[in-house]
Amino acid sequence: MCGLYAYIGSKGAMSQVLEGIQKLEYRGYDSSGVATVVDGKLVWVKEVGKISQLEKVLAKKQLESNVGIAHTRWATHGGPVQVNAHPHLDAKEQVAVVHNGIIENHALIRELLEKRGVVFVSQTDSEVIAQLIGYLYRGNLVKAVRRSLPFLEGAFAICVIHQDHPEQMVCVANQSPLTIGMAQGETFVSSDATAFLNHTRRAIYLKASEIALITKDSCQVFNAHFKRVKKECQTLEYTVEESSKGGYAHYMLKEIFEQPYTLKSALLGRQKSQLGTACLELITEQELLKIKRIVIVACGTSFHAGLLASYMLEERAQIPVEVHISSEFRYKNPIVQEDTLAIAISQSGETADTLAAVCELKAKGAKIVGLCNTEGSSLAREVDSALFLRAGQEVGVASTKAFTNQLVVLALLTLRLARQRSMSRAQGQQFIEALNRLPDQIQEILDQHKKIQSIAKAYAHFDNFFFLGRRFMYPTALEAALKLKEIAYVNANGYPAGEMKHGPIALINPSCPTVAFCADSVTSSKIISNLMEVKAREGLLFAISDRKSRELEEIVDHYFYVPPTIDELSPLLSTVVGQLFAYYVALERNTEIDQPRNLAKSVTVE
């Protein structure tokens, strides 16, 4: 979840690392800090809150140096207070460490070091790394780091500096992303390669407990047994995007309004209209034909995309699908047969739970297709085939355009598999036509954002919500409820409408409104009956539908109509309404929308 960044070169380390962690603030914003070596002494600055607080303090200090490490934190162990902020130091205050991940056996290491007289100052798991390296240091920093590794259990990426070695840094990556950027006379280290793209596109990826000894001109990599590993620099292809709000009040609103364009990007060059099929870079045609079962693993918003994909794939391709929350999948002892295709979905491509599920699937012999938004990500490197979302940089923590692009790419995959099996060319062409109408249909919804804002104002003071749907609208309701939880901090429960009477309807009252997603042709009449049950208990109702209905309008308190499309694609249109509703409720409640409390954009710890 946290972001680390480091620099060694001749351009002024503090300005370089500050710029770097500002680009990583989406990974955590509880606290931040830097460390460097000035006149042979380790110097550090830590501040609670967003990086802007750290920037103000650094502006008053003259920390001229050629080496620096920096960190922006999402709290796991220990609250967001200054003493728990990174970098962490050893007892002699000579070693400084920044860390992303979790040390699972930190309590045991802490106990062992305390028995040897080491005094800890924080509540974090990360401090044990610095204290352990400092305790084992005997004049050679690389050897001290190497000797520390067998003691550390968990997924982690670290960068270490020592006041006696101002011309070097040591880095380690173990099941956590870390990228080294190589430029002329300077070297960068980052949790995310996009943070240094303005400086270099030549990158080295560390993995599997590899250790890197870094200077401004070189990067020597060793494996866990300290054998030299030859690592080729990769050239990063993706573009640098400016993190500008473009006149919008928030990044999230900007990204909602970008969806007509990002969907076009997701569709570009991926369809063969004449043949009524999709054109995707996948595993071979023969392997696709052998697929008898699909397993999808994902977390959060991506899990909701996976649920919708399961409906699409079973409906159109007639392939049985299982969808698993990644964090639970690896603990089930899952059954993976040789005719199973696995689909792993992660916006960042760095979601720790999903990467762990991918490792489990690979060990069981599954072919894996990965959906992610970042080229060069861990997921893209681990899977057999990677399908990129093409959503562009998503700065807002609550995913919007990445989610709708996930649905479009999954719809294209559905089309590809369905055309191999039961779908005719004419049906495929109709499916493509519906896909290509989506950008304009979403623009129609966006053009009515003032109406959605007006409706949101009427509901913004409520602290409890139900979001209901059936069939394709059920996962849509789950996603809309999640958006309201994330940015408005209200208790919003997504639920299958038909299940309400099996218990949850007891919670319906005038203070608990219901948002109902009705744009599913098969279940539209059924959900109206469910809404009547809610209305009979004096619950307020806001309905989103794709067809005008006097019966619906007589029941609900507010309604919004989305353009009609095929059922498989109706979630994309209804989702945009849910995104705008959540945004405007949060705006009325004056919450932090782009960086909601307790959340981070990239979840890189289990």
Helix, strand, or coil here: 515?
strand
Q: Find out whether 251 and 594 touch, Cβ atoms under 8 Å.
A: yes
Whether residue 159 lies in the annotated active site? no
Other CB atoms within 10 A of residue 8 CB: 25
DSSP 8-state assignment for residue 265: H
Q: Which of 2, 219, 512, 518 is catalytic?
A: 2
Distance CA 343, CA 372 (A): 11
User: Which tokens in the block code for residue 94?
Assistant: 């000579």
Nearest to 146 by CA among 208, 68, 92, 223: 223
**Which residues are CB-neighbours of 262 under 8 A, at least 6 positions away?**
390, 391, 392, 401, 404, 405
Q: What is the 3-state secondary structure (H, E, C) of 539-562?
A: CCEEEEECCCCHHHHHHCCEEEEC
Distance CA 463, CA 555 (A): 22
Tokens 């009427």 -> residue = 458
- Residue 450 phi/psi, 5-degree rounding, is -65, -35
Question: What kind and span of H or E run contains 67?
Answer: strand 67-73
Other CB atoms within 10 A of residue 242 CB: 6
Q: Among positive and negative, which fits the CA dihedral 110, 113, 115, 121?
A: negative
Distance CA 169, CA 160 (A): 6
Q: Find out whether 262 and 404 touch, Cβ atoms under 8 Å.
A: yes
Whether residue 601 lies in the annotated active site? yes
**Which residues are CB-neighbours of 418 under 8 A, at least 6 positions away?**
316, 317, 318, 428
Q: Which of 401, 483, 485, 601 is catalytic?
A: 601
Residues with a known catalytic role: 2, 601
